[in-house]
Structure 1
Amino acid sequence: MIDFEAILDGLFDIVHVTDEKGRTLYCSGRYEEFFGIDPQEMIGKPIEEFYHLGYFSPTITMRVIRDRKKVHTIQTTRKKRRLLVEGTPLWDADGNFCGVVNTSIDITDHEQLQQEQNERKYVGGLLQSEMTKENSRRKGKISLVYRSQSMEQVTALAEKLAQVESSMILLGESGVGKGVLAKYIHECSPRADKPFVHINCGAIPETLLESELFGYEKGAFTGADKDGKAGLIEKANGGTLFLDEIGEMPLVLQVKLLNVLQEKTITPVGSAVPRKVDVKLITATNQNLRQMVKEGRFREDLYYRIHVVPLEIPPLRERREEIPVLVHYFLGVFCEKYCLDRQLSDACFRILAEYDWPGNVRELENVVERLVVTAPDVLITPTQIPRYIHSHEDSALGGIKVERVMQMQEAMEEVERQLLQRAYEQHKTTTKVAEALGISQPSASRKLRKWVFTGE
């Protein structure tokens, strides 16, 4: 007589069969080796009980019961084994659903090889995407690396505005890339062969800013160069003047800048003779200039002169699809700079893509450089990612999120479902869930049955 159980055990590491309610009918003898459970203890019991006790994650049986279709997943067991699981619905002779059979293959020892293969495939795809984007948005030595629709719109508008002489202001949080975009606009403009002068108004002491911007005549003040000095605005003559952090410019200098825009002239410190200048002005700020005007900290007339065409760059957290592209781009830049061979694991890409990056592209660039220069081996792993990024990832897991606009009642139910799910994942028992949420144990049990136990 053929021993079908022996055949199944020979084909798969684990075979597990349940009825239509998820109660165990059969499981392979090696179950304890992989899950830490005596298979005899499972017979007749709902599989979801063992899932909630933490013997394996995720569960697949309840998904098959719910969806009535074949499901694949990779499961992690309490014994730290990784299983490739296929859940298949069973039907009786009359076509009625009657159970689920799960077949599992241990892939623990193949994880590293698979990870490396996935890495090559993933990075290869990113490289192709990055090269396509870079080639399509490259001017001179400046490349814009992006993938999102929002940045596509920003870049297209920037190229259009580069062809006109109107003043423009770049808006966005610190580190989003306003300086790079300003340089790109210059490279796209008819002034590309003329000077591009970048001035950070917040980086120059207020006492020196006027002489740096407008220059000075010989003998204008104590310590001045005996021959005088041309200002940065004059050095940009014929080209592009980029005033970063324009909100930091003192009020007294705002008057002189307004004269540059209106009269196309500058007057150096210590001189009464204006000089003609021709510059295309690009400004940038991460401050609310309109509010500063109301508070008297920024001139209203200058505000309207520089605010002709505003161009806002969205923060990196609103264009997460670009994070892997930028990570790979900076990885290549710093590997070449330091003559190192470094690669990031898939897990690193996922962790970096989930972080909010309050410092935006600048922060991301700095983190990638840190990983490249400090990694001891070719493959960079999650343990080498800065702790604060992991901490953010861990705290984000506890957050409550409503991902779309919905009716208020539906939104309240969604928040309740997520809250119950998080509480159960953390506390594991209905009593502790009740304590954490400040509700009675029967109420916690009822809500868990509604939102958590039946949702697996």
Structure 2
Amino acid sequence: MLNLLDVSSQDFVVCPINSDLEQLINKISGKDIKYIIVYQEDSILGILSVSNLLHEIIINKKTKVTHKQFTNDKLRYEKSFTIISKDLPLSKIKDNKDIVVIVNNENYPLGIIDGECTPDIKQTLLEYQKIFENLEEEIFVTDQHGYVLRLNPAAERVCGVLARDVVGRHVRDLEREGLFSSSITMHVLRQKKKVNMMQQLKSGKTVLSTAIPILNDEGEIVRVISTSKDYQEINKIKAELEEKKTELEEKNTELARKTQELSILRQEIFSNVNLIYKSNEMKTIRNTIFKIAPLALTVLIQGESGVGKEVISKAIHHASPMRDQPFIKINCSLIPEHLIESELFGYESGAFTGATKGGKIGKIELANNGTLFLDEIGEVPLMIQVKLLEFLQDQEICKVGGTKRIKIDTRIIAATNRNLQDMVNDGLFRKDLYYRLNVVPINIPPLRERKEDIPALVRYFLNVFNNKYGMNKIIDPEVMQALYNYSWPGNVRELEHVLERAIVISETELIRLEALQNSLELKGNKRIACPDLMPLKLAKSQLEEQMVRNAYELCKSTYKAAKLLEVDQSTVVKLLKKYRNNP
């Protein structure tokens, strides 16, 4: 705890009564002395400033300082003062203009506090005292000689002592008594620098101590401050950190396992809905699917006919929490205009002529708690668009011929091959409905713009139809290249039908170009010609050269050519370099 001497000043001298002025002047000369305390036996007679005394000496030519001289009219004490004991707490100092003189048990002056500064000093030091006492770090303070000045409550707990039993004692005595195994303070006083060391305390604890010297303006040590930490506590914290680290590693392992399981689940989902891809464009769509699938957001899928809009809608459904609920599809272009309302919203019994007795549940109600896929949404008549918009806003429907409103919780996925924005501009599609549907837009590029997907799709469909028809057909490399070069106006659906037809009509296990002649307009196809017989090794070399050159000319990228040929990119680079040197 801070005491009065910590805040006191030493800018004074004690002048016994009848002091010789010459000696007094020599005593204060060249020093920062502000006050003179006149002292007799065990009492303080008065305080005057050095400047006042020197003035009186010059004016009155005094040679002796006597009690009489301090009480006559020519020389009197101009400073009022208050005497307090050094043991009085700092908080007990009253705010006044007096000089506070701090005395020992014999009433001898030990320090002074200028009364004009007392309020600020008191407030500041009280704050420091609170900080000192409440720090969890153990603090042990000694003077420049090694005598203990103070220690905070944390140090009392760790060292197993009370401050009153050690304050004022020398650290060597405490070391001899076994309070600690070795005094870190003495190491600092000898080395005049910061010291770190382990100490064994009397309480049996081992602490890691750090001590630093506090220097004055002349570079002399005036205080030594030591701090320490319970080594067992440090080991405990270290063990806890290791435990947390182990837990974190286990959690990371578990996270990696779950991530792998999620990745497998995702692949299973995509395989279940036949989402086959290799291109970056479709990878982006895949990532979008997994971001939005857990959220009941409305999705608008746009793309040409046959690009796989229904496949994407099913992927969203299967990756969502609704995967076990109904997935209801309605193709708006296949339903007559006069029936589309009843198909969507259902109808009550007797709602119109020919209505089924008992009424009918609409597609929207069937999709309750699941997903409703509105394919070809651009074909919905304007009259029905109004009612569809009302449903999207309120999540309620009313059957045809009915008055009761039914609450529906379903996710809406709409798809179209038409440009809805152009339809809005032409007045063929409601703007407000367009914005309601276009919460999360997904645009699927045509197959001709993502040719990297063609080999993967070919392998997939080949496997599907071989299993379907009990065959084991394989694709000639020429055919694969032809399929790659083709523009595919019918997109993935056209590719599927072409391969199914080729597998069925091909008379050999190897599907050659002839099986596709009636299905595709084959352009730019470079067939491998071998007019003369030649060594097989040479023929293989020529085939390899032609395949690599054609793949590179087609893709304009060694990476894409490698994907097409199903080899490493480094292999393509090496072969191109080889055959460039052999034109």
> RMSD value over aligned CA atoms?
2.2
1:345 matched to 2:476? The reply is: yes
Distance 1:403 1:354, change over 3 A: closer
Within-5 A mapping of 1:11-160: 137-139=267-269, 141-160=272-291
2:327 counterpart of 1:196:
yes
Contact 1:169 1:282 in 2 (8 A): yes
Whether the 8 Å CA contact 1:134–1:144 is kept in 2: the answer is: no
Equivalent-residue separation in structure 1 for 2:399 and 2:523 (angstroms): 50
CA distance in 2, matches of 1:307, 1:232: 21
2-structure distance, mates of 1:136, 1:164:
16
Q: Deviations over 1:374-430 (max 9, x none)?
A: 1112111111113352444469xxxxx9999xxxxxxxxxxxxxxxxxxxxxxxxxx
Structure 2-normalised TM-score? 0.44
Aligned position for 1:377: 508
- Inter-partner Cα distance in structure 1 for 2:312 and 2:474: 28
**Corresponding residue for residue 180 of structure 1:** 311
Q: Deviations over 1:304-355 (max 9, x none)?
A: 0001110111111111111011011001001101111211111110100110
Q: Are 1:236 and 2:367 counterparts?
A: yes
Q: Given the superposition, is the C-alpha separation of residues 386 and 346 from structure 1 closer, same or farther in structure 2, using an over 3 Å criterion? A: same
SS in 2 for 1:389: coil
Name the aligned partner's letter for residue 319 of structure 1: R
Q: Aligned equivalents of 2:385 and 2:436: distance in 1? A: 11
What's the CA shift string for 1:230-263, capped at 9, x where partnerless?
0011000000011011000000111111111111
**Farther off after superposition, 377-386 or 326-335:** 377-386
**Structure 1 segments of 4+ aligned residues over 6 angstroms from their partners:** 401-404
Residue 191 of structure 1 contacts residue 240 of structure 1 at CA under 8 Å; is this kept in 2? yes
- Alignment partner, residue 419 of structure 2: 288
Determine helix, strand or coil for the equivalent of 1:369: helix
What is the alpha-carbon distance in structure 2 between the residues aligned to residue 390 and residue 296 of structure 1?
38
Deviations 1:137-194 (A, max 9, x none): 3318324211111111111111111111111101111111000010010000011111
Deviation at 1:220, TM superposition (A): 0.8
CA contact (8 A) 2:498 2:519 kept: no
Give structure 1 stretches of 5+ with no counterpart.
1-132, 396-400, 405-455
* One-letter code aligned to 1:314: P
Q: Secondary structure, in 3 states, of the residue corresponding to 2:339?
A: helix
Q: How many residues align?
A: 268
Q: Over residues 83-134 of structure 1, what are the superposed CA-to-partner deviations in whole Å (9 max), with x where a residue is unaligned?
A: xxxxxxxxxxxxxxxxxxxxxxxxxxxxxxxxxxxxxxxxxxxxxxxxxx99
Distance 1:390 1:295, change over 3 A: closer
Percent same amino acid at aligned positions? 49
Q: 1:278 corresponds to which letter in structure 2?
A: D
Partner of 1:7: none
Question: Is the CA contact (8 Å cut-off) linking 1:176 and 1:313 kept in structure 2?
Answer: yes
Other-structure match for 2:344? 213
Contact conserved, 2:482 with 2:525, CA < 8 A, in 1?
no
Q: Are 1:252 and 2:413 matched, yes or no? A: no
- Three-state SS of the structure 2 residue aligned to 1:241 is strand
Kept after mapping to 1: 8 A contact 2:423/2:429: yes
CA distance in 1, matches of 2:276, 2:297: 26
- Deviation, structure 1 residue 358: 0.7
Task: Note the residue ranges of structure 2 that are not aligned, 5 or more in a row.
Answer: 1-262, 527-552, 557-582
Bigger radius of gyration: 2
C-alpha deviations, 1:254-302, integer Å up to 9, x for none? Answer: 1111111111111111112211111111111111111111111101110
TM (norm. structure 1) is 0.56
SS at match of 2:297: coil
Q: How far apart, in 2, do the equivalents of 1:278 and 1:196 lie? A: 13
Could you say what secondary structure the match of 1:282 adopts? strand
Distance (whole Å) between structure 1 residues aligned to residue 366 and residue 317 of structure 2: 15
Distance in 1, Cα, partners of 2:419 & 2:378: 8
Question: In the TM superposition, what is the alpha-carbon distance from 1:373 to its structure 2 partner?
Answer: 1.3
Counterpart contact for 2:345–2:399, Cα < 8 Å: yes
Equivalent residue number for residue 100 of structure 2: none
The answer on whether the counterparts of 1:137 and 1:143 sit within 8 Å (CA) in structure 2 is no
Where 2:452 maps in the other structure, the secondary structure is helix
Give 1:139's aligned amino acid.
I
Question: Could you say what secondary structure the match of 1:206 adopts?
Answer: coil
1:415-454 deviations in Å (ceiling 9; x for gaps): xxxxxxxxxxxxxxxxxxxxxxxxxxxxxxxxxxxxxxxx
Is the CA contact (8 Å cut-off) linking 2:313 and 2:373 kept in structure 1?
yes
What per-residue deviation string (whole Å, max 9, x for no partner) do you get for residues 184-223 of structure 1?
1000001111100011111111121111111110011111
Closer/same/farther in 2, CA of residues 136 and 240 from structure 1, 3 Å limit: closer
Aligned letter for 1:202?
A: S
For 1:264, which of 395, 416, 419 is the aligned residue?
Answer: 395
Matched residue SS, 1:190: coil
